[in-house]
Amino acid sequence: MKYLSIAQTAERWGISTRRIQILCGEGRVPGAIRIGSVWGIPEDAEKPADARIKNGKYIKKEIHNSQRIMHNCNRSKIVHSAL
């Protein structure tokens, strides 16, 4: 099997070398191997789908009242200790 460097894969996929390093580190590029400090990416590997959250699509978690009170108490302690 032939492996490509991160730079070659970045050019092929049209994304940055840093983004490919992150994808490899997260295990999202099937068959990618680490050779010392360099990643080897299989020639036939496909670009993974972008799973990052886009603007406006954040998922709000419901905060219970007791958690809100604890959060506010912790924030006030931080503010008072900084004074």
Domains and CATH numbers, the chain: 1-48 (1.10.10)
Q: Measured between alpha carbons, how far is residue 63 from residues 47, 60, 66, 68 in Å?
A: 36, 9, 8, 7
What per-residue confidence (pLDDT) applies to 51? 78
Separation between Cα atoms, residue 23 and residue 25, nearest integer Å:
5
Separation between Cα atoms, residue 51 and residue 16, nearest integer Å:
16
What per-residue confidence (pLDDT) applies to 1? 86
Average pLDDT over residues 21-42: 95
For residue 13, what pLDDT band results from cuts at 50, 70 and 90?
very high
pLDDT greater at residue 10 or residue 69: 10
- For residue 59 the two structure tokens come to 């998922």
Average pLDDT over residues 8-13: 96
pTM: 0.61
DSSP 65: H
